[in-house]
Structure 1
Amino acid sequence: MFKIIRYVYQKFATCSKIKQLKILEAGVDKEGDPFIKLENGRIFFGPESTSKERKFYKLFLSSGTRKKLPFQCFQIALDIVIRYMEGNLKWGGPAKEAFYNVKEGDVIAEMGAFRGYYTLYLADKVGTSGKIVAIEPIPSNLKYLEKNIAANKLENVIVVPKGVWNENDHKTFQRKSTDFQSGSIDISYNNSEALSIEVNTLDQILQDTNVDQVDFMLIQLNGAEYEALEGLSKFEPKHLAIAARYDKEERNIAQEIRLLLEARDYTTKTLNRKFVYAQLN
């Protein structure tokens, strides 16, 4: 019961922030994809809202907001608030920039980049002198990631259509059929679908994208965070923010990540026992 109450409250809190969005236009394009264009010129594409969201759309949005925001675009608006505006390591969790503020000229490795909403935020902050390596393995997410990058004419983003692991391989991803952000190598879901995804090490991915140094690395891999760091030995990101939310058997993955990074001469901090931040000494 508590989880349900918390979920509804978070929906309410997120919906209340939708009215802060300065929506210039919202609708469906010629390809059938919903979109929202903000007054700052940024445009966001995504899939249609699911029927389960309709009750929140009607209950928590005013008639004036609904007039500007068709229901098809409601999920995009939620994601803009959660990812583009707030940029947390988890819905309701700590901010990705809790200990490091992205600045102009930074090189950033972002995984998983999902549909590119936070990628747009990062691209604005690093400017034309910076670079974003956006890593995302799931094809349906890649479609919108690439479309959002193209629509916003971002020339400082490199998309890597792969998963991250400790070796070069193909892995089976499980994904909730009703939650397209929850793809994982190590976690099985009820009512899931299986996808065969090419995976590679961060060392190889960064080398292939001609990156020399990473200023900030964001790791959100639904259980593969430790393996991602095992495949990172040739590069030393200056700052990291890691969502280590899933333990394996009796292993405390956040603690193991801290020990691994501290052995590599990083200073680490943990928030809420599951979110690890690190800075190279």
Structure 2
Amino acid sequence: MHTTHIASPPPTHQEGGTHQERGRFFRSPLVWMLIGMVGVGLASSLASVGGVVAVVGAAAAVVIYWAVMRYVARRSMPEIAKSGAVTQALSGVAIGFGFITVSMLMLLTEFSFDERPGNGLSIVASMAAMSFGAAVTEELIFRGLALQALEKLCGSWAALTITAVLFGGLHLANPGATLWSSLAIAIEAGVLLGAAFLWKRDIWFAVGLHFAWNTTLGLIGIPVSGHASEGLMTTTPDGPDLLTGGDFGLEASIVPVIVSLLIAIPLLIGAHRRGNLVPLRRGLR
């Protein structure tokens, strides 16, 4: 029996235009930013569980980020390149650890320390897994998605400012948070981590810094952004809240705010010299 094949008519001009418009819509920075935030945000719920689940959540967040950038934004992703990722992360770890260590050394007399019983290895592993999950998901959302999308619209300086304010504002919901603690977080984390990303244009560098910061605080036994930490020590603030951060933790202290700026400013100068900052006029285009 002979079957007659009827050729499909070519797409009309209207259909082609609709397809192109749909493509342009999804490639819009705000659209892929929001889609990515939803996807990575869902993965972050796994990362907040802790343990192996946190690591799985972080891995899922990276896969979602890659998929959104590849198939929605249609852009390359040098910021999550595997080549050199370990080196970049370790460089960030060194800066993050140094940041907290210097801040604490300046405030040693304002705290009292007691050894906390428990299995040290288990405590370190648990703290590291939780910090890793938080660092990966938060950096993908704020520096990978938000900062890069916004700088396409309004340049790097405006994007850095907006993401810093958003990052600080979201921490208002944390235990013991105040307007001051959110401002401090906006400067310490929002500006410093944003500057770290702009300097290297590498997510893993910012992740390493963020991870070391949270892990070091947690192991010392100081609350991380208001959340109590069961680390290797029990640390009690004895000095004024402006120096110790009070119940919110060291991040609400004036000292790390100053130290973070002393680190962030050279990073931003370096980013400018490398040509890594998107000016407003190019962002608007």
TM-score by length of 2: 0.24
User: Highest Rg: 1 or 2?
Assistant: 2
Q: As a proportion of its length, which structure holds more helix?
A: 2
Higher strand share: 1
Structure of greater relative contact order (alpha carbons < 8 Å, 6+ residues apart): 2
